[in-house]
């Protein structure tokens, strides 16, 4: 493999910034059920306290940051011409490890509250960089629809992974890219389970 150091450094710097450093002090952390019922559906009981969820910078920064991180890290390791299978697998494994390490940081841990920040927007940006639109678009639609129907981030991640498997089987030829995307979708669920936390999303009131 041929490392492009400036791309690897930029990708690491962008991806290893903890989400809490990009959040304002007045943020609140809500489960998906509370996020949907109290914020996105604009609960009438909260009219006296207008919710300005769209004014959270992380909402706009995270998708772009996830895309740039994945693009830098994926392009930062160039394949060697006529490389041996072992070297090719090592490159794929190292790239997947870097992406998973970044995603772990973005799944912020609030240990005292026993909560983990669901990296939905950041992960969405990563998937756009990693997958063709014929795969990530169905995954987004099914993931969001399932999360709303089942009131939970975990259900959204799982069904997005299923959509990636189905669409990827039809439209993709790279098994390793598909496997990396699946690992990225499942990793937050496993991390949440190991930490024994619940997923929350930051919202600005």
| Pairing verdict, β 115-117 and 198-204 | parallel
- Residue with tokens 């011409």, as numbered in its chain: 81
Residues β-bridged to residue 89: none
- Each residue's pLDDT tens digit, 95-127: 899 999 999 999 989 888 999 999 999 999 999
When mean pLDDT is compared across 81-90, 149-158, 164-173, 186-195, the lowest value belongs to: 81-90
DSSP 3-state of 65: helix
Total residue count of the chain as it appears in this document: 205
Retrieve residue 177's tokens.
């890219």
What spatial distance separates the first Cα and last Cα of the chain, rounded to whole Å?
47
Strand 198-204 with 2-3, pairing: unpaired
Model pLDDT for residues 16-57, shown as the tens digit of each residue: 998 888 887 778 888 988 887 776 665 555 554 555 656 666
- Taking the C-alpha atoms of residue 161 and residue 130, their distance in angstroms, rounded to an integer, is 14
What is d(CA 115, CA 35) in angstroms, rounded to the nearest whole number?
15
Q: How far, in Å, CA of 161 to CA of 187, rounded?
A: 11
Phi first, then psi, for residue 144 (nearest 5°) are: -65, -45
More confident site: 81 or 118: 118
3-class SS of residue 202: strand
Q: What are phi and psi of 78, to 5 degrees?
A: -85, 135
Question: What span, in angstroms and rounded, lies between the C-alpha atoms of 201 and 156?
Answer: 14
Task: With 0.75 as the threshold, say if the pTM is over it.
Answer: yes
74-78, 79-83, 140-144, range with the lowest pLDDT: 79-83
**Distance in angstroms (rounded) separating the CA atoms of residues 27 and 30:** 10
């Amino acid at each position: 493999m041929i490392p492009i150091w400036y791309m690897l450094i930029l990708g690491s710097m962008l991806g290893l910034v903890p989400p809490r450093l990009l959040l304002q002090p007045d943020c609140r952390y809500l489960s998906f059920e509370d996020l949907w019922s109290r914020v996105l559906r604009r609960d009438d009981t909260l009219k006296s306290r207008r919710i300005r969820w769209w004014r959270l910078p992380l909402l706009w920064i995270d998708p772009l940051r996830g895309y740039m991180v994945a693009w830098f890290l994926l392009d930062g390791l160039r394949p060697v011409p006529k490389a041996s299978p072992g070297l090719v697998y090592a490159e794929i494994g190292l790239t997947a490890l870097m992406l998973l390490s970044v995603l772990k940081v973005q799944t912020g841990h609030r240990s005292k509250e026993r909560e983990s920040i669901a990296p939905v927007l950041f992960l969405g940006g990563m998937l756009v960089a990693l997958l063709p639109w014929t795969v990530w678009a169905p995954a987004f639609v099914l993931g969001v629809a399932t999360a709303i129907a089942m009131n939970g981030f975990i259900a959204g991640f799982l069904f997005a992974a299923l959509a990636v498997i189905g669409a990827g089987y039809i439209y993709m030829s790279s098994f390793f890219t598909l496997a990396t995307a699946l690992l990225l979708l499942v990793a937050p669920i496993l991390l949440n389970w190991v930490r024994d936390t619940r997923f929350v999303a930051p919202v600005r009131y």
